[in-house]
Amino acid sequence: MLPRRIERILTSRHVVLHLVWTTIVLVVIFGVLIRLVDEEEFPSVWLAMWWAIGTVTTVGYGDIAPAETSGRIVAAALMIVGIAFLSLVTATVASALVSRAAGEISEDTEDLPSILARIEERLERLERQLGSEPSDA
């Protein structure tokens, strides 16, 4: 059920909106979570969300880092999610571009059999005019 739902979201026209909202939700959840597990390094939720934004986008400024083991576990989870999320966005954009290009190519090649037939006819006419036998190759 979940893969089909994800596929529908990724192939919808509103994929960017879904990705933005997902990023916002991840930043808020992980910002609050890191604030709860590592209060010393993250004295405010806003600072924790700043860290979460840098981490989920894989920028990672390094100005803030969790010191507690539990905070590092949360950070590792967010890093993995951020990398997977970035890969998903890249794959979605690439898929859309490939689909568009494939559609353009298929439009161009719809008449390919008739074009080849006309070329063969012209070639046979030229060979007759030159007095040589058409080749079967």
Given the structure tokens 């005019």, which residue do they identify?
129
CA–CA–CA angle 22, 80, 10 (5° rounding): 40
With contact defined as beta carbons under 8 Å apart, do 82 and 55 qualify? Answer: yes
With contact defined as beta carbons under 8 Å apart, do 25 and 49 qualify? Answer: no
Q: Which residues does 88 contact at the CB level (< 8 Å), separation at least 6?
A: 10
Taking only the tens place, the pLDDT of each residue in 64-119 is 889 889 999 999 999 898 888 778 777 777 777 777 777 666 666 667 778 888 88
With contact defined as beta carbons under 8 Å apart, do 27 and 49 qualify? Answer: yes
- At the topology level, CATH places domain 2-95 in Helix Hairpins (1.10.287)
* 31 pLDDT above the threshold of 90: yes
Q: Where are the domains of the chain?
A: 2-95
